[in-house]
Structure 1
């Protein structure tokens, strides 16, 4: 019974981090129409967020848990995932309904990679709960159980981290005319593996610690490759008619994304 209660608490913590991703759609509830100039800047913002989260968040976190070789192996696997996803989507006959086929494929790819990337973050939450329910564990009391301080910290930190990622997910959805509530839903959906990963990692924490560096590297590799092959080319294509080809707006967005994300990634 105690194990079930602990697993439930870990799942709830992971689910809170997933819900935080939906907050990233809030800005799009406030703005009706966005010009091409702002789209380019927003694509740059999303790229900066992803690159900073990968470099200063996932990779640094992975190095704290393992070796550079393990991170590199994970990153290589993440890149292969994106390449494989490209090939699968190119070969599958998709009925996108109200979306253009190319845009629909881009949506599936972006959501798929971001969904996969969220799993290691859930693992991190689960690992942080490793001492939950153990004798002598210190931390705030919740339902008569001492919750590890690290678990509280990790849940809050990843929730904050997920908000700008929700913005990044909402950008391609907005460009395709998806409603604000659907944006919020897809943002939350992309992080649903987090509570699952949290529960699995808590249950098998020793094994999870061994594979955590590979998981962080896997997520970082997939995200960096996604930015290089999808986000930046999309921004440059949208900004082609603008003065200077939209490079200034893209650079400004990238700088803003990195500036926003680095302090959060280093929390």
Structure 2
């Protein structure tokens, strides 16, 4: 099966990887068909795990290759990763301010961004969609590095990144669908909104891969941009949400486990 994947064009590999991460989100959202609620401690542990995976991926799969590539360039090795990392965080911060959205677990009155009359379900999906964009970009850039022939990136490392992001997408699907079901929305609508939040990932993956292929010199900037955007999501959304109900120790331990799992995946498959 893996040999079949290897034989595909890298752009198609990026698309399939994005579809995989979307499918795992949909699988998590499908939990509404079997239960109407999820244990809060379990959810907080999964959110912590997701944060750990994203933090590890930000370094092992994105920043480390960006630094390695930059060492062969004309600029100081720290400059492209620094610029890309800060721009990634700034881009997510700007989207947070420009688009109306509502973070998980917050009342409607605490919606962020411009004032709007959009329904709670739509605002929740916008929030999760915003935070799935850097995940899709990270996948696309990783596969784009393979297309560009960078020695600092490899197909196995890109696959490891897609697997890691897929693992942490499962609780995201649950975290969107379950609250909607708890508010009285039908199971099908709850599932629909849950999976919809990750539909942007295949699109972002293609955009990331295309950008790197079109302009190979931007690869270290693109890798670190995705890293900065993912770190912003972890600190601004996942960690606060996992601590919101007081399960701080559980969420922290889960974050450590998630970090370790992603680190092992990246090192073992690289």
TM-score band w.r.t. shorter chain = 0.7 to 0.9
Number of positions where the alignment pairs a residue of Structure 1 with one of Structure 2: 228
Partner residue, 1:142: none
Query: TM-score by structure 2 length?
Result: 0.72
Partner residue, 1:55: 59
Q: Structure 1: state its 5+ residue gaps.
A: 1-7, 132-149, 240-244
Asked if 1:114 corresponds to 2:132, the answer is yes
**CA displacement, residues 101-120 of structure 1 (integer Å, 9 cap, x when unaligned):** 8xx2x542342243144224
In structure 1, the residue corresponding to 2:127 is in which secondary structure?
A: helix
How far the C-alpha of 1:45 sits from its partner, in A, is 1.2
Q: Structure 2: how far apart are the matches of 1:252 and 1:80?
A: 29
Q: Please say if residues 117 and 218 of structure 1, whose CA atoms lie closer than 8 Å, have aligned partners that are also in contact.
A: no
Which structure 2 residues correspond to residues 184-195 of structure 1 after superposition, within 5 A? 184-195=195-206
Which structure 2 residues correspond to residues 153-172 of structure 1 after superposition, within 5 A? 153=156, 156-167=159-170, 169-172=172-175
How far the C-alpha of 1:168 sits from its partner, in A, is 5.2
Query: TM-score by structure 1 length?
Result: 0.73
- Relative to structure 1, the CA distance from residue 95 to residue 184 in structure 2 (aligned partners, 3 Å threshold; closer, same or farther) is same
Which structure 2 residues correspond to residues 84-163 of structure 1 after superposition, within 5 A? 84-88=94-98, 89=100, 90-99=112-121, 104=123, 107-130=125-148, 153=156, 156-163=159-166
Q: Structure 2: state its 5+ residue gaps.
A: 1-7, 71-76, 101-111, 181-188
- Relative to structure 1, the CA distance from residue 37 to residue 113 in structure 2 (aligned partners, 3 Å threshold; closer, same or farther) is closer
Partner residue, 1:16: 16
- Superposition RMSD in Å: 2.8
Asked if 1:211 corresponds to 2:222, the answer is no
- Relative to structure 1, the CA distance from residue 249 to residue 11 in structure 2 (aligned partners, 3 Å threshold; closer, same or farther) is same
Asked if 1:82 corresponds to 2:69, the answer is no
Q: Which of 29, 35, 38 is equivalent to 1:34?
A: 38
Q: Structure 1: how far apart are the matches of 2:218 and 2:163?
A: 24
Q: Please say if residues 177 and 193 of structure 2, whose CA atoms lie closer than 8 Å, have aligned partners that are also in contact.
A: no
Please tell me whether Structure 1 or Structure 2 has the larger radius of gyration of its CA atoms: 1
